[in-house]
Each structure stands twice: as C-alpha cells, then as structure tokens.
Amino acid sequence: MRIAVFSDLHYSDHPNAGHPRRRGEIVPEILERVVDRLNGEFHPDLVICAGDLVDDPKRSDLLPEVVRHLKRLRAPFLAIPGNHDPLSEEFYCHVPRPPVVLDLDGIRFLPFTDDPERPGWNAARTPEEMDRMIRSASAFPGPSVSIQHVPLYRPGVGTARYHYEYAETILDAMRDSGVRLSISGHDHQGMRPVSDGRVTALAAPALCEEPFPFLLFELDRNGLLSDFRTIEGAAR
Ligand SMILES: [Fe+2]
Ligand SMILES: [Fe+2]
C-alpha cells in the first residue's frame, strides 16, 4: 500500500518571528496544493499527519481550518498531536480521532497520541502504552506500524536530533512483537529511513518549511518499505 506522511504544519495566523523558516501563516495554501497533488497525482491509500498541526497549543481554534483541508483527501487520514498542539483530549475535540488500532491491507497501524514530553523536546512511552503496543502488535499476524510525533529509532542508527527515553528497550519490544516501521515528525529536517535490521524508522520533514516537503512510500505486507520519495509539496 502507498502511504503519504506529512508533519509539522505549525499553522498560525501570523508570521513566526522567532523561527522565520516556519511558514505557518501560509499553511492553508500549502495544504490546498498538497491535498490536490495527493488526490490527483499520487493516490495514497493512507495519509498520516504526524503532529504539530498548529504552532501554539493554546490556539486550538485554528485546528478546524487544517481539518477542513484534510477532509478533502480522498484517502483515509490519521492525525496525531505534537508538542505544539493541545493535549490529545482537546486536540481530538477538533480533529477526527483515529481508531486505537487501524488495520489496512494486512498492516496494523498504532497511533500513539499521548506519549509524554521529556526535557530537550524528547519523549517517553509509558509502561501502559508499551504494554498496549506489545499486545496489539503481537496479536496481529502481519506487520505493525508505530506512529508518534517524536522520532523513535534505535540509538546509533538514526540521524534525528531528538529521541525517546529508553529507545533501546522500546525498539527491542518492537522487534519482538512485530512492529516493523516507526513513523514520526518533529525533527524539522526529517530523517531518512534507517533500519536496525528488523525495525525501520523515519521522520517526515516539516511541511511548513521550504520546499514544503512530504513523504511517499510503499509498504508491503511483510513490513518492507520501498519507493521512498520526498516530494516538494508546494512545487508546481
Ligand atoms: Fe514541529
Ligand atoms: Fe514537534
């Protein structure tokens, strides 16, 4: 199946003085173009939005405009909150809440919407969520995919600047339970797919920064990723 991932929109109603590269104020135009291209050109089977939909967690009033664009997608979409978004309870008052488990074409998708933040813009997975991940993935005959905002990869193999606490332990549990892919955002430069031999991890670059990129790839029923491409989203 073909999957599109974009992340880090940082939608705002004014230019970002502290981070001028983040063009959150033109997100409606960027999304207009990206959604048109996904619908007309790339035809993904699933679109994942990996968090930081808005720039200011207090501005949940801006979420409906993002959702309005996402709802134009002809493919199912799955959006999770990032550290710039309101917490999940508030976030999902405005954004369609994905199912706890989404099975599509022999692949199980597990969105993690409440992984707590850690100092340095890092994250953690609680023991309860670890259990849920292991149980959900182990119970499924095919590969599973973990989706979270902060890059989750085995230390030493990834190039992202942010990480999960106890990432080694989480990656071991992924490997043993059948999680074959870890999809994130958060690191605005993105992270190309890296594999420790069993689990592949990647992070989408920020859609709000030129050239407004998103990711496109194929994922087969063995959890193998192919035809990985970065698309310049707003390019004509
Ligand atoms: Fe971000
Ligand atoms: Fe973030």
> pLDDT tens string for the chain (236 positions)?
999 999 999 999 999 999 999 999 999 999 999 999 999 999 999 999 999 999 999 999 999 999 999 999 999 999 999 999 999 999 999 999 999 999 999 999 999 999 999 999 999 999 999 999 999 999 999 999 999 999 999 999 999 999 999 999 999 999 999 999 999 999 999 999 999 999 999 999 999 999 999 999 999 999 999 999 999 988 65
pLDDT, position 236: 55
Nearest C-alpha neighbor of 33 from the set 210, 186, 189:
210
Strands, sheet with 200-203, edge to edge from the N-terminal-most edge strand: 102-104, 107-111, 144-147, 179-184, 200-203, 191-195
How many angstroms is it from 50 CA to the middle of ligand 2? 9
pLDDT, position 233: 87
How many angstroms is it from 3 CA to the middle of ligand 2? 21
How many angstroms is it from 53 CA to the middle of ligand 2? 9
User: What does pTM read for this prediction?
Assistant: 0.98
Where are the domains positioned within the chain? 2-232
Nearest C-alpha neighbor of 186 from the set 156, 206, 215:
206
230 in Cβ contact with 215 (< 8 Å): yes
Q: Which two tokens stand for residue 154?
A: 């085995």
pLDDT, position 234: 81
> What secondary structure letter does DSSP report for 191?
E
Ligand nearest to the CA of 149: 2
- Length of the chain equals 236
How many angstroms is it from 178 CA to the middle of ligand 1? 28
- Core vs surface per residue 180-194: b (16+ CB within 10 A) or e: bbbbbbbbbebbebb
How many angstroms is it from 52 CA to the middle of ligand 2? 5
| Dmax (CA) of the chain | 49
Superfamily of domain 2-232: Metallo-dependent phosphatases (3.60.21.10)
Residues with CB under 5 A from ligand 1 (ion): 8, 52
